[in-house]
Amino acid sequence: MAVFNKGCLQYLCNRGKIPAVCVTNDWFTGFAPAYAKIGCYGDTFKGSTFLHICHNLQESYEGRVYLDPPDGDCSDIHNLPRDWLFDESWKGNVLNPSRCAIMLSDQWATVSKSYREDLLNSSSLAWALRQKPEPFAFPNGIPIQHRLKKLDAAAPDHLAAKKMVQ
């Protein structure tokens, strides 16, 4: 993760393409806003805003890395402040790149208004999500009743409806 995130930022530097808005997506990109803001690239990304998209923040998809005690906190690899990656109230030595992404991004977004509310109310990272005012969410589908009505009118059975949709 450290190499990937630094590599993405370094690529932008090498190409001279410093974005006004940098969008990161899910846990694997969680270190990028931290590296940009901690000064790994000097002031290069000082004018860039970071938006982190949370497609899925279930505990099994936060990117948690369960480290064995001998591994320590892997700070010699990621070089980031411990409190950006670890929640001391969690049992064990758990590195969480989603925690870092949310804390260090300027804003976050998700795929629907209902999922945004779910995250704000029930995510293990809700406290960090609530630190960002007015996170972006957009309805991501066609209203179900409208879709069903169109399918019923166009296809007499399941197989015909499947063929139509495909």
Express each pLDDT in 118-136 by its tens digit.
999 999 999 999 999 999 9
Rounded distance between C-alpha atoms, residue 39 and residue 9, angstroms? 12
Q: What are the angstrom distances between the C-alpha of 21 and each of 7, 47, 54, 152? A: 18, 9, 16, 43
Instruction: CATH number of the domain at 56, please.
Output: 3.40.50.2000
Higher pLDDT: 42 or 147? It is: 42
How many C-beta neighbours within 10 Å does residue 13 have?
A: 13
Domain that holds residue 17: 2-141
Domain membership of residue 154 (yes or no) is no
At residue 80, does pLDDT exceed 90?
Answer: yes
Number of domains the chain is built from: 1
Domain membership of residue 54 (yes or no) is yes
Rounded distance between C-alpha atoms, residue 1 and residue 117, angstroms? 29
Domain membership of residue 47 (yes or no) is yes
Which pLDDT score is estimated for 163? Answer: 82
Which pLDDT score is estimated for 71? Answer: 85
Domain membership of residue 162 (yes or no) is no
Domain membership of residue 160 (yes or no) is no
Domain membership of residue 53 (yes or no) is yes
Domain membership of residue 133 (yes or no) is yes
Domain membership of residue 116 (yes or no) is yes
14-73 pLDDT, tens digit per residue, is 999 999 999 999 999 999 999 999 999 999 999 999 999 998 898 888 999 999 988 889
